[in-house]
């Protein structure tokens, strides 16, 4: 490949639209998206007009005197991103990568729009405020760590919690799926991993086709459905206060699980829904990576190797504000462990450990044995997940 200032290029089919600060460029062949500043968009337009790289560079230096313009470097980046199909009439080879097919096309966009329109969004906001009012007016509705334990037999509690959590997470993700379909976008469900939790994740890669304002709804869609579930569960606690023990116990688990998941979304040091919302509203993408670099620069003892920050002009204030929320998210995670996770573990151990002192013919012994086996299997799966993730890195 002989790349010179006399070279002319042919790019792959691209779709370009303005975003909050810069432009979103879509490779229509691979459905990959890239953020680029205006100078790059002008370069792409001039390339498509058949100008040589040297002519383009002179034009851009005249138009952007304060920008560092180097067309050779820019085209090398385009080649790495496989956005160049021909160089001086010679076709460039591409990696043989399979394009993942997205689904849920059987869901009509009209169904999605039923759940996500101006009226429904107003209703979700009212329910969210109503939930906050209920917690303030009746503090007894706040979930307690013991709410996790529906049954006296500890071995039954983990499967019950797993089934309920799976259903609730599926409802959360269907919020995202329906919001995607409301915009007539394809998607799919994937299995992901955060901290010690295995999570379902909705593929939202195609949202970059939308405007920034429309993307906000898609990021909040899961929390909208969580808000509805929490409202129904809290109202059920009030209406059926004297109801059957098992029913109320299940409702308490629903409140506990949904409440923790909604608080967890505020832990924006991970890429939660609210992190992506923050990123989208600010127009500052790669926010987490830039903030982590800034934090390491200020606190070098966290990592001996500090890479250079790549931050667009005007984004430093946004990165600083996000860094504050970053540490608030860490504090929230520690609080969740202190208030819920650790007390739950200690309570469970207190319940099952005496069972080991009884004979093999006793129910408490086998309850303790099987419960401990469940915990061990969970820890082994977690260690395997971590090892698979970090060894691959």
Domain segments of the chain: what residues?
Answer: 9-91, 101-264, 265-345, 355-393
Predicted local distance difference test score (pLDDT) of residue 40:
93
* 162: confidence class by pLDDT, cuts 50, 70, 90: confident
Dihedral-angle region of residue 286 (phi above 0 means left; psi in -120 to 50 means alpha; beta otherwise)? left
φ, ψ dihedrals at 152, nearest 5°: -70, -35
Is residue 382 predicted with pLDDT exceeding 80?
A: no
Predicted local distance difference test score (pLDDT) of residue 311:
55
First to last CA, the chain: 31
Cβ(239)–Cβ(150) under 8 Å?
no
Is residue 260 predicted with pLDDT exceeding 90?
A: yes
Of the ranges 78-87, 186-195, 219-228, which one carries the lowest mean pLDDT score?
186-195
DSSP string over 195-231: TTEEEEEE--GGGGGS-HHHHHHHHHHHHHHHHHHHH
Taken as a whole, the chain contains a residue count of 393
Short-list 356, 357, 368, CA closest to 152: 368
Of the ranges 98-102, 128-132, 221-225, 328-332, which one carries the lowest mean pLDDT score?
98-102
Short-list 34, 20, 105, CA closest to 74: 34
What is the chain's mean pLDDT, rounded?
A: 87
φ, ψ dihedrals at 210, nearest 5°: -95, 165
Predicted local distance difference test score (pLDDT) of residue 122:
97
Is residue 127 predicted with pLDDT exceeding 50?
A: yes
Please give the Cα distance from 275 to 268 (Å, whole number).
5
What b/e sequence results for 158-170 when a residue is b if at least 16 CB atoms lie within 10 Å of its CB, and e otherwise?
A: bebbeebbeebbe
* 306: confidence class by pLDDT, cuts 50, 70, 90: very low
Predicted local distance difference test score (pLDDT) of residue 193:
56
Cβ(190)–Cβ(203) under 8 Å?
yes
379 or 51, higher pLDDT: 51
Please give the Cα distance from 310 to 71 (Å, whole number).
19
């Amino acid at each position: 490949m002989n790349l010179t200032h006399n070279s002319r290029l042919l790019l792959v089919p691209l779709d370009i639209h303005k975003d909050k600060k810069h432009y979103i460029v879509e490779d229509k062949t691979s459905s990959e998206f890239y953020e680029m500043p205006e100078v790059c968009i002008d370069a792409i337009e001039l390339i498509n007009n058949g100008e040589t790289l040297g002519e383009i560079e002179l034009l851009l230096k005249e138009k952007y005197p304060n920008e560092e313009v180097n067309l050779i470097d820019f085209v090398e980046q385009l080649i790495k991103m496989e956005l160049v199909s021909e160089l001086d009439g010679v076709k460039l080879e591409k990696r043989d990568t399979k394009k993942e097919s997205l689904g849920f096309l059987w869901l009509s966009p009209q169904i999605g729009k039923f759940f996500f329109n101006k009226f429904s969004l107003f209703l979700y906001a009212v329910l969210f405020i109503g939930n906050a009012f209920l917690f303030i007016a009746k503090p007894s509705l706040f979930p307690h760590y013991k709410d996790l334990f529906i049954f006296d037999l500890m071995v039954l509690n983990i499967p019950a919690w797993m089934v309920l959590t799976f259903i609730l997470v599926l409802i959360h993700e269907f919020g995202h799926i329906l919001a995607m379909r409301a915009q007539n976008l394809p998607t799919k469900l994937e299995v992901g991993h955060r901290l010690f939790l295995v999570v379902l994740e909705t593929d939202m890669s195609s949202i970059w086709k939308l405007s920034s304002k429309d993307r906000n709804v898609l990021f909040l869609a899961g929390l909208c459905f969580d808000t509805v579930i929490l409202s129904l569960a809290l109202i059920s606690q009030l209406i059926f206060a004297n109801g059957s023990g098992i029913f109320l116990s299940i409702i308490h688990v629903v409140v506990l699980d949904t409440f923790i998941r909604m608080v967890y979304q505020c832990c924006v040091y991970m890429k939660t829904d609210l992190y992506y919302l923050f990123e989208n509203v600010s127009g500052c993408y790669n926010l987490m990576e830039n903030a982590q670099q800034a934090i390491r620069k200020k606190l070098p003892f966290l990592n001996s190797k500090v890479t250079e920050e790549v931050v667009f002009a005007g984004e430093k204030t946004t990165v600083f504000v996000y860094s504050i929320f970053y540490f608030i998210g860490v504090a929230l995670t520690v609080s969740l462990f202190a208030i819920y996770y650790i007390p739950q573990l200690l309570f469970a151990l207190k319940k099952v450990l005496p069972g080991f002192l009884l004979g093999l013919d006793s129910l408490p012994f086998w309850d303790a044995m099987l419960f401990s086996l469940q915990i061990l299997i969970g820890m082994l799966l977690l260690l395997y997940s971590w090892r698979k993730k970090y060894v691959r890195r």
